[in-house]
């Protein structure tokens, strides 16, 4: 029986499909690897966040009466005003918390650590001015002008200002990262939470903080980062 030529595969059509399959296969592999890489990044961010929170949780307090006393409070800096000229509520509530902590007697001295990398921008000086307006005497304040980032502020507190037991003052999300860094460096740090700011863009802040926590883990455990500047030791008189 002679086969019907119409039922046989067309050799020309088969030749046309092979190159297309060869092109699709590598692209499919690249797509799979991109998805796997993306999921690994997301998992890494999630794990770093949980790690920071779990290490810091037991050492962070909301009320002064729950807080163990310390000689020094490390007040972390931020801009006093926003880019549009409005007061920065993170700054204001942070200064409120620092002043309340000092007046309650839970700390005896405030170390104000912030960015003064350029002449026109001076976070520590702005903090001192705000705290003096809140009734904190200048004699109870020391300024650290090289607190360019959280790791710098925390490590300089021990290496420059010779204090490894202190109370950090900032917002809750920031305190978790600061205490995590301090404890990773072997310091006995606790933290006092300033009020959170609910009317700011929390989604942007949350995303930024998640990435900052990944960087904190990398800096401490893998890159072994140190502050940009250290310098001579400074005695804080209390």
User: What is the Cα–Cα distance from 75 to 71, expressed in whole angstroms?
Assistant: 13
- pLDDT of 100 reads 97
User: What is the Cα–Cα distance from 151 to 222, expressed in whole angstroms?
Assistant: 14
The residue with tokens 């021990």 is 158
- pLDDT of 71 reads 98
Residues sharing a CB contact under 8 Å with residue 86, sequence separation 6 or more, in sequence order: none
- pLDDT of 42 reads 93
Digit-by-digit pLDDT tens for the chain (238 residues) are: 555 555 555 555 555 555 566 566 777 888 889 899 999 999 999 999 999 999 999 999 999 999 999 999 999 999 999 989 999 999 999 999 999 999 999 999 999 999 999 999 999 999 999 999 999 999 999 999 999 999 999 999 999 999 999 999 999 999 999 999 999 999 999 999 999 887 655 667 788 899 999 999 999 999 999 999 999 999 999 8
- pLDDT of 218 reads 97
Distances (CA, A) of 45 to 69, 141, 174, 212, 221: 34, 37, 16, 10, 15
Q: Give, in degrees to the nearest 5, the angle at Cα 140 between 86 and 195.
A: 40
Selected from 3.30.420.40, 3.40.50.2300, 3.40.50.620, 3.40.630.30, the CATH number assigned to the domain covering 57-221 reads 3.40.50.620
pTM above 0.95, yes or no: no
- pLDDT of 198 reads 73
């Amino acid at each position: 029986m002679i086969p019907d030529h119409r039922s046989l595969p067309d050799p020309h059509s088969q030749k046309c499909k092979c190159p297309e399959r060869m092109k699709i296969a590598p692209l499919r592999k690249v797509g799979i690897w991109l998805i796997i890489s993306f999921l690994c990044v997301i998992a890494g961010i999630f794990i770093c966040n949980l790690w920071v929170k779990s290490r810091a949780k037991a050492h962070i307090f909301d009320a002064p009466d729950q807080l163990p006393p310390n000689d020094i409070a490390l007040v972390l800096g931020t801009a006093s005003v926003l880019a549009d000229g409005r007061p920065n509520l993170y700054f204001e509530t942070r200064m409120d918390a620092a002043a309340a902590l000092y007046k309650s007697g839970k700390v005896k001295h405030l170390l104000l650590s912030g960015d003064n990398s350029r002449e026109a921008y001076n976070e520590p000086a702005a903090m001192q001015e705000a705290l003096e307006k809140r009734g904190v005497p200048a004699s109870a304040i020391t300024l650290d002008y090289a607190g360019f980032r959280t790791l710098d502020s925390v490590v300089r507190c021990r290496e420059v200002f010779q204090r490894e037991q202190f109370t950090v003052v900032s917002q809750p999300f920031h305190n978790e990262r600061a205490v995590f860094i301090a404890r990773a460096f072997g310091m006995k740090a606790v933290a006092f939470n300033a009020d959170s700011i609910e009317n700011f863009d929390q989604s942007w802040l949350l995303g930024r903080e998640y990435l900052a926590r990944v960087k904190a883990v990398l800096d401490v455990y893998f890159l072994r980062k140190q502050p940009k500047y250290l310098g001579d030791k400074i005695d804080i008189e209390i």
